[in-house]
Each structure stands twice: as structure tokens, then as C-alpha cells.
Amino acid sequence: MINNTPLRRLTWRRLRQRPFQYILLIVGVAIGVAMMVSIDLANGSASRAFALSTDAVTGRTTHRIEGGPNGLDEAVYRRLRQELGYPLAAPVVEGYVQAETLGPQPIRLVGIDPFAEPPFRNYFGSGAGGDAGGLTPFLTRPNAIVLADSLAEPAGLGLGDEVVVEINGRFHPTTIVGLLTPQDDNSRRALGNLIFADIATAQELFGQVGRLSHIDLIVPDSALLPVIEAILPADARLETAASQQNAIQQMTAAFSLNLTALSLLALVVGMFLIYNTVTFSVVQRRPLFGVLRCLGVTRGQLFQLILAESLILGLVGAVLGVGLGIVLGQGTVRLITQTINDLYFVVNVQSVTIPPATLLKGVVIGVVAAVAAAAVPAWEAMRTTPQTTLRRSAAEGRIRELLPWLLLAWGALTAVGVLLLWAQAGGLVAAFGGLFAVLIAAALLTPPTTAVLMDWLAPLGDRLLGVLGRMAPREIGRSLSRTSVAIAALMTAVSVIVGVSIMIGSFRSTVIQWLEQTLQADIYVSPPGATATRDTGAIQPDIIAELSAWPGVAQTAVAHPSEVFAPDLGRTVQLVAAAGDVSRGNRPYAWKPDGVENPWLLLGEGIIISEALVLKEGLPIPPPPLTLQTAVGPQTFPVLAVIYDYANDRGTIFMDKAQYAALWRDEATSSLALFVEPGADVDRLVREMQGAINGRQSLDIRSNLALRQTSLEVFDRTFAITSALRLLAVIVAFIGVLSALLSLQLEQTRELGILRATGMTLRQLWALTLLKTGLIGAVAGVLAMPVGYVLAWILIYVINVRSFGWTLQMQLQPGYFLQSLAVAVIAALLAGVYPAWRLGGMVIATAVREE
Amino acid sequence: MQKRLPRQIYALWGGAETVPYPSWQTLSSDMPLITLRQLTKTFSEGGQTRTVLDAIDLTVGTGDFVVLLGHSGSGKSTLLNLISGIETPSSGTVEIGGVDITALPDHQRTLFRRDRIGFVFQFFNLIPTLTVLENVTLPQELAGREKTAVSTHALHLLNRVGLADRAHAFPDKLSGGEQQRVAIARAIAHDPMLLLADEPTGNLDEETGQRVLDLLLELTHAAGKTLIMATHNPDIAQLADRVLRVQDGGISNQLSVIGNQ
């Protein structure tokens, strides 16, 4: 029977003797796990919040009849009920409204027929609703609404109170005639963002009299589907409720995956830290292990001992990380929700939901990372022979022997990475796999590169700084097993900073250039939209006419975006109906036929599609004609050109507005661009126009500059979370360097003592320490430059293209690279301050005796 | 001075600083080189105080070869450490060449040690990242002296210890005896007035130990330098001018004992 108790006692004593070393390990695991958990929680909370509010509206719906951009004619509902006699159908009119008294977030207003509702949703009637006034006022009072008491009470609202809602730039007073009391937490969250109205009220409010957004159905037997489909008009289609929800979740899938990959990075950097700490603790205990082996401790016991240590410390770190992740999650959920609202759809996250699975995943990944990183040093410990108490120099000698193999491993792993990046079929996950492979390969290249650089720097340092300049690189080179891991960790973190900075910088400058080319008009008019990048609603025709004829306005262009169904693609696509060219022929084209100068002018003869649509759908160049479902049935359009467009990552189709109006029977215009006469004062015109329409419709009237600024604000908000994640990765790397330096210092105690005894002053010892850390930082910073460039290349030309379908122009600025060097050197120097300070307390006589 | 680095920067990390004390060559020969007064060293261990050296008074003349005998843990090494200034006394003073080093701040004490004292350790204690030659020139380079100038002298010393051909090797390629010979060359390279040796042959076999000892005496005692050596070996004591036994915190002359052996 093997007894491990004495070994456990030894471990416990060591933990107490060298707590700082192990605290750093725990912190490394904790930060890595925290980042992952916080991103996971935020992604999950946003998607759950959306699912809940969608579920609340979907209820027990199995299928849905969808119309075109203008919705459905309500006659379809009548035919369904009367001609087919189909009872399980409920009409819905819905849209987003703004109600100042209920808070700044857009709220979903759902118009329903309470008599058709019971099979679908049970908020009314079946006891769930505390419907004080009953159905009568709901149906009879003009602009009557019902909402959850959890939404009304915080705003100090009750039955009979008025809520002014803003729809499409116009304000409508509504009255609360009923309050719903959600019975559970899920219902409370689901209803927290909903207002119900009678269908006729909703139609009036949204200006959609006679139209429905969709018809919800419960179809228990799929044999009924063809019967229902037979009575549908040309522009309507029957979809399952699940496929619709799925499509919406798909929209943010790439965005979520990008964030998850970035959060994993901190864990990778954290693994370097764990490896470093465990290796150090093994090397330091070699003599002890030698003695233990002599006394009869088996190899297996030693292996278990090291792994068990890492497991326990990893567990502590992971649990702390999960706690920290929950705290950080509160902040990240805000940033992520903002981006989803800006770019995709309206989602209102009231609280961070904490599913146990996410927490468990965080703990498991943290512990597995800790144990995996400890496996190599544990293996080393196992190989300690009873006869030898291997010295560090021997271990370092082995590292030197390993260098050619590391070079080989670098080549092999890079090749794997390139293959993964090459494989189109692998999609985004393979691309991230390739990115990580290239990054880890670069980390493997660190020891050989550091060895060569240090050999080369020692004579140079000698010439410049004398004996200290010679000693610093030599000590780094001699302690490769320790220093190269710290350098690799720092290099990884900093190269990610460089890569992501170049990507964001290139993205930003591409967007700025694109905005400059595309937005040539001087003044832009649109109703305030629910999401920042999309104009919804319509401008009143009289206002369009008035502003177009405004003195000083020379020319106009109008547009109206909508979602249309493309049967070839099996999904809806954004279609922008445009009249006039807001870019004055300056739009950048990804493809246009030879000999055509400005395809925009040919818009009536076909459609122009965005590059994102081509890349997302894998369309060939030139793209084949595209079929769209119109109000007069499916119509096929030739593709005239492919345009760069960074406003929508699902792809956009541009069509002549008159053609659109004829095919979809939709005359609405939601954005108006005005070109002013030369010399006109744009700001004065904007002020005058704002004054003229005041009180008629709430519209955003912005100058070209203001619109561009708003666009860039949205852009910067989108990347705010990326910056935060970059910073965390550097903090982990900083801890890695600090841990490595402290390890080195402990190992070199006797050497430092001799130096002091031989006449090295404390200041010289500080200088030597900071010189070493500065060099560690500089090497990491220098290596991070090419690696960062490669990462940027992958992010721009592979990840971005596969995630969003956008081609960006890479913009290199010396600042990115200088910044990386500065970050690396400063992080390393800061990490060197504490070890240097500790030197002051060294007792030379004790240090010299240290063995 | 260093070749490239501006003097101000080098001085900033304590390189080219001069020692503001009288040169030891100017000391009169009848004046003791070392004077210890009421020198006491206590250590705290687990809440208890242990007195290793208790109010020791001692003078050592210039050019003397003094051997410290004593059991392990008797305080021999502590005494050497106190004299060299790498350890500070609990009370009492250490005066070397007329300078009370116990009154000096750490920085000044380091400069004094670098300039005036050589130390040979039991475990050779060479710096593994420096070559044999660089180990020898280390104290002088730390003092900001030109490497090429000090190298010539160091090579001369390495020649005398029989290791000129190993000047560019790293310490881990040398045998124990060779390493200790390098350590001796390093200890005398800056021409110190006082050499302290802590069990210099304790880690070597008898034959190698004897050769190292001969070399040490030739380069120090025979050259008129003061040498204080801690050892277990009574044979070495026979060669000394004075033999002191360190025992129970005190120190006593052991000439008669040596004579009897």
C-alpha cells in the first residue's frame, strides 16, 4: 500500500514557504478563466435575453406566415379563417417604439387579436395577467396598451396612466388599460421589453392599416402545410418558427465566436505562466526529488505529486476566475449588448444570467489548462534518478539540445496553421484553429531565437555597457528554460496587441475611406432608427418634397432599406431601394464589368450586390442572376456589379427605387440625402430645416460630417470590448514575466550573493536586474512585430472575410510596432521592479551559503 | 572608464566611483591592519537568540597569515563575513586600515570591499555566465576600469596560477581545483590589502588542496599581504603566523596546541 501523506505534507510546507510563487500561478489561471467566463456570460445573456423576448412573442407558434417588406395584407388572415376555416391562427403587427417614460431602450410593441391569442400565448385571460380592466377597454379605448407591472412600476406608472410612444419620428399618446403580473422570473424578463396593444391600435400606430407583420400558426399536422400555402399571395411565405429564431441567432454567431476566440487567448498566455511556475518548482526541488527517490518514492508518486499540486492550484485559480468572470460579465454584457443593438437587432439585457454550465466549463477548462501545462515538468520530475541531483546547468544544457527540435516543431505547427487557414471548408472555426497554431508555433520559436539573439547581444552589450551589458544577455541565454517561457508569454500577448491593433486600424481607415467615397451628399435626413446602422421607418412624403425643394438644395438621392426573401439563398437579405447616387459615382467596386464606368447608373436594368453577400454565400464572380420573392411572385435580376459595403455583414442588394416600388408596392423612403449648391452654408441649412419640420415628424437631420462621426462612434463602440480583452492578455503576460523573474532570482540567489561579495553595489545589481528584464521585454517586443503582422494578416484576410465577408485594406503604421515594443519593455520593466526591490533585503552571507 | 558609455550614466549605477579612503600603502607598518572591538554577532532562531561571536577583541598586523580553527558552526565563517563587511555585527566595530567599516553605509562598504579586500570561498563561487578571464576581471570591471587594461593583468595572474590557456573557458568546464585557482586569481586581481579565505581547500582532494594552498600562500603571504583563513585542517595551521581557535563565541590563541600536534 503506497502512502502519499508525507509527500502531501512536503507540498503543503512548500506552499507555505513560497506562497508568492503559487499565488502568481493562481492569478494567471484566474484571469484566463475570468476572461472566458465573462465573455461566455455576456454572449449567453444577450442571446438568452433575445430568445426570451422572442419566445414570449412566439409562444406555442409552430409556423409563421411572413410577408414582404410591407408585411402581409390582412385579407390573408381572413381567408385563412373564413375560406379554410383554420382556427389556429393569430395575426400580429409588431415593431419597435421608443417610450421616454419607460427608459432609453427601444421597446417591442406587439399588436394582437385577444380572441385569437389563447392557443398561442397565455399572458391574457388564463390567470397570468392581472388584467384589472378586462378586455373591453383593451379593445374599445383608442391607443390602449397592456404591459408588465415590472416594466410599469419602476417608471411610476399604473392603470390609466399615459405613455407617449415615438414611432417613426412621430409621437402617440397611449393609455395603460391593463397590467400583467408575470408569474416567474423568465416571464418577467420576457415581458420586460414588451407592450401589447389591440391589433387595430398597432396598425394605426405603425401606419400599417390593413397590413399585418405576420400570422402565427399552430400546425399540428404537416399535411396541412400545402393547403395553407395554396392560399398565400405571391410575396408571402410559410416558415417554421424555429428556423426564424435560428436565423436571428446566426446573425451574431460570427461576432460571438470572435469574442470567444479572443477570450481563449488569455488562457493560452496563462498556460505559459502555469508551465513556468510548475517547471520552476520542479527544478528547484530536484535535489529533494533525488533524495525522495533514494528513500523509495516511486516515479508515479512524484508524477502524481506534481499533477496534484497543479490540479489543486488550478482549481483554486479557476474558482476565483469564475467569480471574477461573473463580476467582469456585468461590464462585458453592456458592451456586447451595445454592439448587437448597433449592428444586428434590438436586445435588452436586464441582468446577466449565470448558467451553471458556463461556470462548470470555466472551472474545467481552467483545471485542464493547469494540469496540461504541468504535465511536461511533472514528466521531468518523474525522470529524476535517485543518484543524481541534477543541477540547473544540466537542465539548461538539455534545453539547448532541444533548440533544433523546437525549430522543427515551429515549422510543422506553422504548416498545420497554414493548412487550416487555407481550408475554406473549415469555416471560421478552422480559421481560428489556424490562427492559434501559427501563434503557438511562434511561441515555440522563441527559445531558439532568444538564444541566438543573446549570443549576439552579449558582445554588443559589453562594448556599450561593460560587464553588466555582457552579463545580462548571457544570463538570459543561460536560463533559457525560464526566460524563454516568459518571453514567449509576453510575445504572444504583445503580438496579439499588434495584430488586433493593425486589424482595427485597417478596418477603421477602410471604413473612413469607404464613408468618404460613399457619402458625398451634404445633408442626410432619416427617422431615428432602432439600431444605429439601419434606417427604418419612413419620412413623410410632404417633408421629402419640402426639403428637396429647399432653397440651396441642388440635388437629392433617396433610399429605403427592407428585408426581402431570396429563395436561392433560403433566407432574407437586406435590399436597399435607391434613387439617385449618394456617392456621385465614387463608390468603390469589388467587381464591375469591363467598360462600365458607373454601374449605379444602370440600376434599373438589374441589381448591385455587396461583397459580403458574395463572400457569405460563396457566389462566383461575376455573380449569377439572383431571384427575389416580390409581391408579384419570384423575379430574377441580373447582377450588374459587386460593391464594397461595410454597413451590413449579411450582405445587401441595391435596386432602383421605382422598380422596388412597383414590385413590392412600397413607396416608403427612409433616408433622404441632399446635395447643396456650391458655397451654401450646410450647418445653417440644417438648422433651418430642423426648425421647419419641428413638431411634424421627429427626424435626424445631420450634416455629412456629423453622420460620419456617428458612424465612427458606432465603429469604436464595437471594438471597445476588444481593447479591454487585449489589456487583460497583457496583464497575464506581465504576471508571467514577474513570476519568471522571481523564479530566476530565487535560483540565482547564491550567484547574486557572490556578485555582492565580490564588490557589486546594490545599484549595479538593480541595473543588472532591470537590464535583464528590459532585454526580456525588448526581445518579446521585437519578436511580437513580425508575429503581430502575421496575425493581422490572418485577421484581415481570413478571419474577417469568413466572419463578416468584408475585405479590408491593410494599413501599416510604425506606431503599431513601436507601441508593441513599448508595451513589452514597460511591462517587463514593471515586472522587474519588485524583484529588484527584493534584492535590497538580501543578506549576502546567507546568499553565498545557499546551495 | 568604459569605452562607450558616458561617465555620468555609468556612475549612476555605482560603477566608476572612487573610494574616499587613504591608500593602504600609506599605512604605517607598526599599525594593526585589522582591529576588532567588542565584536558581537547574534542570530535569532525560532524566537531564541543565539550568540555566535561574543564581544571579541582582536588585532591583526599587516602581512600576517592568521588561521581560524574551529568546529562547524563555531563562527569562523561569520567572523570572516564580518571582517569583509558582507555581514553586519550586532554590536562592536571592525576597523580595517584605519576605516571603521561597521560605520559605513552599505554602498560605501561595498566599494571598500571591492577595492581593498579579496575573498576566496569554499565552493569556488565563480560566476557561471562569465569566462575564466572575465571572472578574474569582474571586481575591477565593476569598479569601472577599462576591460583591456585589467585583462592584461588578469592574464598575467592566470598564467601564474597555471590557467592562462583556459582564460576563455566557462567555469563549468573546469575541475574543482582549477576553479579554486581562478577564484584565487580573482581575489587578488585588484591587489587588495587583505585576503579572506573560507575553507579554500575544504572541497578539494588532499593533493589538489595542497597545490591550491601553496599557490594561495605564494601569491598572498609571500607577497606581503594579510591573509586570514578559516579551516578545519590543523596541518594548514602549522604554516600560519598565528592560529586562533573560535569556540563558544570567543577566540583564543592556539600556538601551544599547534606546537603539540
Give A661-681 as a DSSP string. HHHH------EEEEEEPTT--
Q: Which residues of A touch B119 (CB under 8 A)?
A: 757-758
Q: Which residues of B touch A845 (CB under 8 A)?
A: 77-78, 81, 86-87
Q: Quick one: pLDDT at residue A125? A: 52
Alpha-carbon gap, residue B143 to A759, rounded angstroms: 8
Alpha-carbon gap, residue B173 to B187, rounded angstroms: 20
Residues of B numbered 65-84 whose beta carbons fall under 8 angstroms of chain A's beta carbons: which are they? 77-78, 81, 84
Cβ–Cβ under 8 Å, residues A652 and A645: yes
Q: B260 to chain A, minimum CA–CA distance in Å?
A: 34
Interacting residues of A604 by C-beta distance below 8 A, sequence separation 6+ = A656, A658, A659
Pairing of strands A639-643, A607-610: parallel
Cβ–Cβ under 8 Å, residues A174 and A197: yes
Q: Quick one: pLDDT at residue B1? A: 40
Contact B142/A474, CB-based, under 8 Å? no
**Would the pLDDT of B5 be above 60?**
no
Alpha-carbon gap, residue A138 to A151, rounded angstroms: 18
Task: Quote the ipTM score.
Answer: 0.82
Between residues A157 and A295, the one the model is more confident about = A157
Give the three-state DSSP class for A92. strand
Alpha-carbon gap, residue A603 to A578, rounded angstroms: 9
Contact B87/A760, CB-based, under 8 Å? no
For residue B171, which of B136, B215, B206 has the smallest C-alpha distance? B136
Q: B175 to chain A, minimum CA–CA distance in Å?
A: 15
Interacting residues of B116 by C-beta distance below 8 A, sequence separation 6+ = B19, B21, B24, B96, B97, B192, B193, B194
Contact A757/B86, CB-based, under 8 Å? yes
Q: Is B124 an 8 Å CB contact of chain A?
A: no
Q: B257 to chain A, minimum CA–CA distance in Å?
A: 30
**Would the pLDDT of A1 be above 80?**
no
Alpha-carbon gap, residue A430 to A436, rounded angstroms: 10
Between residues A103 and A79, the one the model is more confident about = A79
Chains A, B: CB contacts under 8 A, how many? 106
What the block records as the C-alpha cell of A550 is 429647399
Q: Which residues of A touch B113 (CB under 8 A)?
A: 757, 759
Contact B81/A463, CB-based, under 8 Å? no
Average pLDDT along chain B: 82
* β-sheet bridge partners, residue A194: A108
**Would the pLDDT of B198 be above 70?**
yes
Closest partner CB to B138 (pick from A393, A467, A843): A467
* Backbone torsions φ then ψ of A701, nearest 5 degrees: -115, 115
With b for 16 or more beta-carbon neighbours within 10 A and e for fewer, the A617-627 pattern comes to bebeeebeebe
Task: Cell 490572418: give the residue.
Answer: A794
**Would the pLDDT of A682 be above 70?**
yes
For residue A847, which of A757, A721, A722, A736 has the smallest C-alpha distance? A757
Average pLDDT along chain A: 83
Q: Quick one: pLDDT at residue A529? A: 65
- Give the confidence band of A758 by pLDDT, cuts at 50, 70, 90: confident
Q: Which residues of B touch A748 (CB under 8 A)?
A: none
Q: Which residues of A touch B75 (CB under 8 A)?
A: none
Q: What integer is the mean pLDDT of A416-422?
A: 93
**Would the pLDDT of A847 be above 50?**
yes
- Give the confidence band of A607 by pLDDT, cuts at 50, 70, 90: very high
Q: A483 to chain B, minimum CA–CA distance in Å?
A: 15
Instruction: Give the chain B residue whose CA is nearest to the CA of A455.
Output: B129
Q: B105 to chain A, minimum CA–CA distance in Å?
A: 11
Q: Quick one: pLDDT at residue B2? A: 43
Contact B128/A393, CB-based, under 8 Å? yes
Closest partner CB to A466 (pick from B107, B129, B141): B141
Between residues B198 and A286, the one the model is more confident about = B198
Residues of A numbered 248-277 whose beta carbons fall under 8 angstroms of chain B's beta carbons: which are they? none
Instruction: Give the chain A residue whose CA is nearest to the CA of B145.
Output: A466
Q: B256 to chain A, minimum CA–CA distance in Å?
A: 32
Contact B12/A763, CB-based, under 8 Å? yes
What the block records as the C-alpha cell of A565 is 426573401
- Give the confidence band of A442 by pLDDT, cuts at 50, 70, 90: very high
Q: Quick one: pLDDT at residue A128? A: 38
Q: Which of A390, A758, A842 to mutate to test the interface with B (most CBs of B within 10 A)?
A: A758
Closest partner CB to B129 (pick from A466, A471, A760): A471
With b for 16 or more beta-carbon neighbours within 10 A and e for fewer, the A269-290 pattern comes to bbbbbbbbbbbbbbbbbbeebb
Q: Is B121 an 8 Å CB contact of chain A?
A: yes
* β-sheet bridge partners, residue A563: A574
Q: Is B4 an 8 Å CB contact of chain A?
A: yes
pLDDT digits (tens, 9 = 90+) for A356-369: 888 898 899 888 88
Between residues B174 and A722, the one the model is more confident about = B174
Q: Is B141 an 8 Å CB contact of chain A?
A: yes
Q: Which residues of B touch A465 (CB under 8 A)?
A: 2, 4-5
Q: Quick one: pLDDT at residue A251? A: 67
Q: Quick one: pLDDT at residue B261? A: 37
- Give the confidence band of B18 by pLDDT, cuts at 50, 70, 90: low
Contact B121/A754, CB-based, under 8 Å? yes
Closest partner CB to A759 (pick from B2, B134, B142): B142
Contact A761/B107, CB-based, under 8 Å? yes
What the block records as the C-alpha cell of B48 is 531564541
Around Cβ A234, how many Cβ atoms within 10 Å? Answer: 13
**Would the pLDDT of A452 be above 90?**
yes
- Give the confidence band of A449 by pLDDT, cuts at 50, 70, 90: very high
Q: Which residues of A touch B141 (CB under 8 A)?
A: 466-467
Q: Quick one: pLDDT at residue B258? A: 42
Q: Is A188 an 8 Å CB contact of chain B?
A: no
Q: Is A695 an 8 Å CB contact of chain B?
A: no
What percentage of residues in chain A have a pLDDT greater than 70? 93
Contact B86/A844, CB-based, under 8 Å? yes
Q: Quick one: pLDDT at residue A77? A: 92
Q: Is B138 an 8 Å CB contact of chain A?
A: yes
Between residues A345 and A734, the one the model is more confident about = A734
DSSP assignments along A461-497, one per residue: HHHHHTHHHHHHHHHHHHTHHHHHHHHHHHHHHHHHH
Min mean pLDDT across A87-101, A342-356, B66-80 is at A342-356
Q: Which residues of B touch A759 (CB under 8 A)?
A: 110-111, 113-115, 138-139, 142-143
